[in-house]
């Protein structure tokens, strides 16, 4: 059984009783104010009489046990009796930008979980006899970065979310879908309006913003193909022009994605004063008057200036 430090605080006393080895015998519950299980290799657990004391009572009544979670890079004494692997894992987290210098096999020192071993073997470890293209190398480095961050922060549950977003970006040019774009629209709205702290978010704000920029760079390449349709959409009061039989399903889907992604309102340019010589600053003032989003203004201005 692993060692951990138990801490008890008696009622009416400031004295802290240290119980360094598990298992240990607790004093009577009615004499305790707080019970804390604390160890540098595990996440701490605390029971307070004023908050969650009833949970401890129910656990003891049913002769149950309290599950404790190991911290990232902390293996059990059976797996790492000399704590050398744990020291290596700790050194890998000491520098923020050391991700690119980590060998995939070193990530195994963070956890003995089967999932970690399989993921490193199947996705991060390269094969010397198999050539790797640039896109595959870029994807491997991207997965390496996020997998490393998930490991050191004990947030492996965020990895499937990250992979799903990466797959959306990779297939957007081959199989465009408006539903995929809405996933990023929800993320964008969350980043703009929510006050979620970094500790409460599974994926960091920087990671989400970088993925959003990657998606935007892919979508902007469609501008030349959909320029005339987008201009008609902004000047038309109906979408009857989209019923043209010569328009392919892929083209219509791309147009829908551009409209959704940039929040382009139909017939919006008929409410903008475009008389006289068209200049960039005057156009920005007119579009801002309609309280449009910055990305929407940027897209509309590029359409009007015919520079997409």
pLDDT tens digit sequence for 57-114: 888 888 777 777 777 667 666 767 776 666 666 665 554 445 556 677 777 766 667 8
Q: Please name every residue paired with 70 in a beta bridge, in sequence order, or none if there are none.
A: 42
- Do 115 and 156 belong to one domain? yes
User: How confident is residue 1, by pLDDT bands cut at 50, 70 and 90?
Assistant: very low
186 and 244 share one domain: no
Distance from C-alpha of 106 to C-alpha of 116, rounded to nearest angstrom: 11
**CB-CB contact of 272 with 285 (8 Å):** no
Tell me which of 163, 186, 215 is where a domain ends: 215
Range list of H helices, the chain: 53-61, 84-92, 114-119, 134-152, 159-171, 178-193, 205-219, 223-235, 249-262, 280-289, 294-304
Q: Please tell me the least confidently modeled range out of 1-5, 173-177, 224-228.
A: 1-5
Using one digit for the tens of pLDDT, what is the confidence trace for 221-262?
876 678 788 888 888 878 887 777 778 888 888 888 888 888
CA distances from 90 to 37, 207, 256 (A): 22, 23, 48
Supply the range of the domain harboring residue 195.
Answer: 84-215
Same domain assignment for residues 187 and 111: yes
Residue 101 and residue 173 share a domain: yes
With respect to residue 299, please indicate whether it lies within any of the assigned structural domains.
yes
**What DSSP string describes 221-239?**
GGHHHHHHHHHHHHH-SSS
212 neighbors 184 (Cβ within 8 angstroms)? yes
- What one-character-per-residue DSSP string does 92-154 give? HTSSTT-GGG--GGGGGGG---HHHHHHIIIIIS--TTS---HHHHHHHHHHHHHHHHHHHTT
Shared domain check, 246 and 210: no
Q: Averaged over 163-191, what is the pLDDT?
A: 87
Q: Confirm whether 70 is domain-assigned.
A: no
Between the CA of residue 97 and those of 65, 137, 178, what are the distances in Å? 39, 19, 35
**Last residue in a domain, options 155, 190, 215:** 215
Query: Is 55 within a domain?
Result: yes
Indicate the pTM of the whole model: 0.65
* 211 and 229 together in one domain: no
CB 77 within 8 A of CB 114: no
Within this chain, do residues 151 and 240 fall inside the same structural domain, yes or no?
no
Which of 181, 145, 185, 138 lies closest to 162 in space, CA to CA? 145
Total domains, the chain: 3
Are 170 and 204 within one domain?
Answer: yes
Judgement on whether residues 223 and 205 belong to the same structural domain of the protein: no
Task: Write down the mean pLDDT value for the chain.
Answer: 76
Asked whether residue 135 falls in the same domain as residue 21, the answer is no
């Amino acid at each position: 059984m692993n060692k951990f430090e138990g801490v008890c605080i008696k009622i009416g006393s400031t004295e802290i009783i240290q119980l360094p080895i598990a298992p240990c015998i607790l004093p009577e519950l009615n004499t305790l104010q707080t019970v804390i299980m604390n160890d540098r290799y595990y996440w701490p657990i605390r029971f307070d009489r004023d908050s969650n004391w009833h949970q401890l009572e129910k656990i003891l009544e049913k002769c149950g046990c309290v599950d404790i979670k190991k911290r990232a890079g902390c293996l059990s004494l059976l797996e790492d009796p000399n704590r050398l692997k744990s020291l290596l894992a700790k050194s890998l987290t000491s520098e923020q930008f050391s991700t690119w210098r980590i060998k995939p096999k070193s990530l195994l020192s963070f956890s003995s979980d089967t999932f970690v071993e399989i993921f490193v073997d199947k996705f991060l470890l390269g094969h010397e006899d198999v050539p790797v293209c640039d896109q595959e190398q870029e994807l491997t480095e991207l997965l390496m970065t996020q997998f490393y961050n998930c490991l050191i922060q004990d947030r492996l549950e965020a990895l499937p979310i990250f992979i799903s977003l990466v797959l959306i970006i990779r297939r957007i040019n081959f199989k465009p879908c408006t539903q995929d774009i809405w996933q990023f629209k929800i993320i964008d709205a969350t980043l703009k309006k929510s006050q979620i702290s970094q500790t409460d978010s599974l994926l960091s704000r920087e990671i989400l913003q970088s993925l959003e920029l990657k998606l935007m760079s892919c979508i902007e390449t469609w501008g030349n193909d959909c320029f005339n349709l987008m201009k008609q959409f902004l000047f038309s009061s109906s979408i009857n022009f989209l019923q043209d039989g010569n328009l392919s399903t892929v083209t219509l889907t791309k147009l829908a994605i551009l409209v959704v992604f940039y929040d382009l309102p139909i017939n919006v340019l008929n409410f903008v004063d475009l008389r006289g010589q068209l200049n960039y600053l005057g156009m920005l003032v007119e579009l801002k008057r309609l309280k449009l989003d910055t990305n929407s203004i940027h897209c509309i201005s590029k359409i009007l200036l015919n520079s997409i």
